[in-house]
Amino acid sequence: MGGKGQPKNVRGLCKRVRWRHCVCLCTFAQVELAGPRQIELGANWIHGEEGNPVYHFARENGLLKEEDSSNGESSSDDSSSTCAESNDKRTWINTNSDGDIYFLEDGSVASRSIVKQVRMMYDNLITACRDESTHDGCVSVGEYFVRGMEQLISKGDVSADERHVRELLWKWCLRAECIDCACQSAYDLSLIHYNSYIDIPGDYYCCLGEKGYQGVLDVLLGRLPKDTVKFNKPVDQIVWKQKSPTDEASCGREPVIIRVKDHPDIVADHVIITSSIGYLKENHARLFRPALPEDKQKAIDTLHFGTVNKVFLKFEEPFWTRLSEGDVEGIQFLWEKDPWHDEPLVTVQTSDSSKENLKDLHDQIMRRFTGFDTVDGHDDVLCGWISGAEAVEMEKFTDADIAKMCTDILNKFLPTEIPAPTKVMVSRWHENPYIRGSYTSTLPMHGTGEEFDVLSSPVWQGSQAGDAGMAQYPVLLFAGEGCHKEYNSTVHAAMITGQQQAQRLIQFHQLSTKPSHQ
């Protein structure tokens, strides 16, 4: 950073060989799949425009999709994908749904009018749950939504067949909610904290140009001095305090020692940790010496960090264009059974020789897919999303096995025979030892609501830590999407928290009368 009163000698350590494989701003990676645009295995969109630093950064650097960047406004006239200023959670849900086809297991198609009705009912429930007086004893998101949808589905003079389709559609909405919240079941999510998340006004699905998020990283890296970032340097331990609080010598400020695998120790005044919550959950006990303060440990252990994976299927030709006279944006599956809200996943190891157990696991994973969506810039590619324990279990299968599962699903629901894809690409975020999942979301049932603020506050040396006679000095700071209460799970949360912690250090050094350790 440099400059008077500002910290210098800033260095970034990345656990992986390349940015596209690390957790810096968020979990995203890109792959080539024969098209004009790269495919994102992780973060895909910029969520919202007004005041969103990621959106403004991308716009200023010409990184937005061409039709979106000419005037800085959404190119779509469909307000269903645009967040209103009301900040109602997920008011962007596509209640029109004209581009999606919803198939039942018998191959029939749900009428668009019924789809629209149920999706609007679901949107209305999301809006209503902001009013705590409507909770009426419900404590989980699942409990509230199921109760509300049961009442709404029964409204009006509807036939038994239509009621059945409505039930399948609201179950689809619950499974889609699990993808948005990276959870196993909506019953795992705290209702009282569900609306802590705030939408930024503007296009909720703002697309980047052909380089995707790699373009954002390239510009950011280009602005850093050479060798600022060191790749393939996993941190083994962060020693942030070596002496006992009762030791007289501890009145002097201590540097932080960063022990790096196969690399000399690094001495620092401050460390900003941007590791994922998933990585911290698994490693904070061994990573920090001494252990983090108890409130930090509890916050990390409490925050929800789930897994969402994508499966991209490339076909010889886009068969879905024959399913409707209009444009097809997605093929959605209305499964009869909803085991994710009725019964837990029985984890079956893929090494189990029992064909019956493997078949059960295959079926469980298949039913977790809500559908397949078309991919912008790739006319012959579909993308399926999967979350929860099934997403983790799926990672143990080969790409070929997963491709067969997905083809079996399509052939189960669609009226015509679907050929096997020519290429498949699967994300595996949980098996990555430096990420261990995808993103943070709504607090679990036992959350208090204070976890985000606790984690984003610094760890101090000095009087706050019990060292009399020494001014407080921030040594450990945390940033990342999991450190923002209102924007968690987004790239802009990662950028905002990183900027906030950097600014915190700048202000500290500007106000401090003590010379900084170099």
Q: Helices 112-128 and 160-180, interaxial angle, to 10°?
A: 50
pTM of the model: 0.86
Domains of the chain: 12-21+228-305+436-511 (3.50.50.60), 42-203 (no CATH), 307-324+341-426 (3.90.660.10)
Classify residue 21 as exposed, middle or buried by CB count within 10 Å of its CB (0-12, 13-18, 19+).
middle
**Is 407 within 8 Å of 382 (Cβ atoms)?**
no
Q: Which amino acid is at 421?
A: P
pLDDT number for residue 286: 98
- Three-class SS of residue 72? coil
Q: Which residues of the chain have pLDDT under 70?
A: 1-9, 15-36, 67-97, 243-252, 339-356, 463-471, 513-518
- The span from the CA of 331 to the CA of 383, in Å, is 10
pLDDT value of residue 94: 38
Q: Is 8 exposed, middle or buried (0-12, 13-18, 19+ CB in 10 A)?
A: exposed
In 87-201 the beta strands, taken as DSSP E runs, fall at: 100-104
What pLDDT score does 248 carry?
Answer: 40
Of 233, 217, 180, 218, the closest CA to residue 440 belongs to 180
β-strand partners of 109: 103
User: Are 487 and 198 contacting, i.e. CB atoms less than 8 angstroms apart?
Assistant: yes
pLDDT in tens, 414-442: 999 999 999 999 999 999 999 999 999 99
